[in-house]
C-alpha cells in the first residue's frame, strides 16, 4: 500500500510538470535541457536507449505500468513522444524537423 501511494504521488508530481509544458510538434535535443526533472532525464535516456515499452518506462520512472502508460500517452499528446505500433506499443522521442537554412552563397 505504501509503495502504491508513493508511486501515485510521484506520478501526480510528474503529471503536474507535464501539464505546464507547451504543446509542440516534436522536440530538438537541446530543448530537453530546459525540461523539468525527471522528465528531462527520462527523455535523454529514451534518446540513448531507443524505443521503450510501457513496462520499461515504468521501471525507469519507478511507476506502475498503468501510470507510466498514462504519462507516456500524455507526452505523445503534448508532442514530445511518438509511438510505434507492433507486437507491443513502443514510445520514442519525437524529434522536431529541422528546417534547412538557405544561406546565401555570397555570405562567405
**Is the pLDDT at 99 greater than 90, yes or no?**
no
> What residues does 27 pair with on adjacent strands?
95
> What local confidence, expressed as pLDDT, does residue 57 receive?
95
- Taking 80 as the threshold, does the pLDDT of residue 101 lie above it? no
- Nine-digit cell string for 16: 503536474
pLDDT at 80 over 70: yes
* Domain boundaries of the chain, sorted by first residue: 2-94
pLDDT of residue 38: 87
Q: How far is CA 22 from the centre of its chain?
A: 13
Residue showing cell 524529434: 95
The pLDDT assigned to 103 comes to 52
The tens digit of pLDDT for each residue in 5-59 reads 888 898 999 999 999 999 999 999 899 989 988 899 999 999 999 999 999 999 9
Instruction: Specify whether the CB–CB gap between 82 and 92 falls below 8 A.
Output: yes
DSSP, collapsed to helix, strand or coil, labels residue 69 as helix
What fold, for 2-94?
Answer: Arc Repressor Mutant, subunit A (1.10.10)
Amino acid at each position: 500500500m505504501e509503495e502504491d501511494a508513493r508511486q501515485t504521488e510521484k506520478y501526480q508530481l510528474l503529471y503536474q510538470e507535464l501539464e505546464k509544458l507547451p504543446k509542440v510538434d516534436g522536440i530538438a535535443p537541446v530543448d530537453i535541457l530546459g525540461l523539468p526533472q525527471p522528465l528531462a532525464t527520462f527523455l535523454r535516456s529514451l534518446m540513448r536507449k531507443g524505443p521503450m515499452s510501457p513496462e520499461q518506462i515504468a521501471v525507469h520512472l519507478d511507476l506502475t505500468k498503468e501510470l507510466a502508460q498514462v504519462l507516456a500517452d500524455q507526452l505523445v499528446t503534448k508532442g514530445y513522444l511518438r509511438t510505434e505500433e507492433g507486437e507491443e506499443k513502443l514510445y520514442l522521442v519525437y524529434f522536431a524537423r529541422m528546417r534547412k537554412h538557405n544561406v546565401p552563397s555570397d555570405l562567405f
